[in-house]
């Protein structure tokens, strides 16, 4: 293994974020070959040097990355004192690596979650300054009005502050339920549930379907698959792109105002036909009103 900076190695081992590892080094928590180290920028090689954090040897494992389809009822923790099922238990790792989830989904939610032993990767994926896009499908109680839809898109005030703009597409709407797809860049605790509760539409079901360039389609419910090098690189490239742009707030994802598409989605033939039908229906209704109220000529003749 080539030499690397001490704080980066500690972050990769899952000790903490890079910045926090720098603070821990300065506080005297780290030693190399039995000698306490407090200066920054020290280069180390874990294959020939013994690195300890609070007297425990730092073991640097080969990084591994998994995509997991979390079912409802599973926890995003490595241990639960009540014996409840965890996301990590869905992964069968022969080398018994120390794995943990990248971010969280609450117990009642399901969908895509990443699992890794790479602490530096985890911190960058979840850090708010990067704001990697996450897409969810939601089932809401009741009919979501257009006014509340516009309110959600612009951001609502919660106890933790105002939420950022949220890209929202209505999939299906009725008096009983509304199905929506949303994309967010922040990750406040139970954020989507709190947002829609604020406008009076409780979230009955929540499923995360995409994190950055990785989606849920290639993972079966309750299983995990290992990400290949190209997928990990795609995530890294996206994080680098966001950083280069100065963060996600500097260049928000573009959305077609008419089709309400998310970035990366295409409007297929089915969508175009539906849009044309809606435009024709709207035109017919406008002409009927001009001719004599809400009733068309055929209905007037019947009366």
Count other Cβ atoms within 10 Å, centred on residue 263: 13
DSSP string computed for the chain: ---EEHHHHHHHTTSS-HHHHHHHHHTT-EEETTEE---SS-EE-TTTS-EEETTEEPP-PPP-EEEEEEPTT-BSSS--TT---BSGGG---TT----EEES---TT-EEEEEEES-HHHHHHHH-TTT---EEEEEEEES---HHHHHHHHH--EETTEEPPP-EEEEEEE-SSEEEEEEEES---TTHHHHHHHHTT--EEEEEEEEETTEESTTS-TT-EEEPPHHHHHHHHHHHHHHHHTTSTTTSPPP--TTT-PPTT----HHHHHHHHHHHHHHHHHHHHHHHHTTS-HHHHHH-
Residue 243 burial (CB < 10 Å; 0-12/13-18/19+)?
Answer: middle
Task: Report whether 181 contacts 152 (CB < 8 A).
Answer: no
Measure the CA–CA gap between 283 and 180, rounded to whole angstroms.
27
Which are the catalytic amino acids? 106
């Amino acid at each position: 293994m080539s030499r690397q900076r001490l704080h980066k190695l500690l972050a990769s081992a899952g000790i903490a974020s890079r910045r926090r590892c720098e603070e821990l080094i300065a506080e005297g928590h780290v030693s190399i070959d039995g000698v306490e180290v407090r200066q920054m920028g020290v280069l180390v090689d874990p294959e020939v040097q013994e690195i300890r954090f609070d007297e425990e040897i730092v073991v640097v494992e080969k990084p591994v990355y998994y995509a997991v389809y979390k079912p409802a009822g599973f926890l995003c923790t490595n241990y639960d004192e009540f014996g409840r099922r965890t996301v990590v238990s869905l992964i069968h790792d022969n080398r018994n690596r120390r794995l943990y989830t990248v971010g969280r989904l609450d117990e009642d939610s399901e969908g895509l979650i990443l699992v890794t032993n790479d602490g530096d990767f985890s911190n960058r994926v979840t850090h708010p300054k990067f704001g990697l896009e996450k897409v969810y499908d939601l089932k809401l109680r009741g009919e979501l009005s257009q006014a509340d839809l516009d309110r959600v898109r612009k951001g609502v005030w919660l106890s933790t502050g105002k939420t950022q703009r949220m890209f929202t597409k209505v999939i299906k709407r009725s008096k009983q339920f509304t199905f929506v797809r949303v994309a967010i860049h922040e990750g406040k605790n139970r954020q989507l549930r709190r947002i829609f509760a604020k406008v009076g539409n409780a979230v009955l079901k929540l499923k995360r379907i995409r994190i950055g360039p990785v989606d849920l389609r290639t993972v079966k419910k309750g299983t995990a698959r290992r990400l290949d090098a190209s997928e990990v690189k795609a995530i890294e490239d996206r994080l680098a792109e966001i950083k280069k742009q100065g963060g996600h707030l500097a260049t928000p994802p573009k959305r077609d105002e008419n089709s309400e598409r998310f970035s990366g989605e295409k409007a297929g033939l089915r969508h175009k036909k539906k849009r044309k039908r809606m435009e024709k229906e709207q035109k017919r209704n406008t002409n009927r009103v001009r001719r004599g109220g809400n009733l068309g000529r055929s209905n007037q003749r019947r009366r």
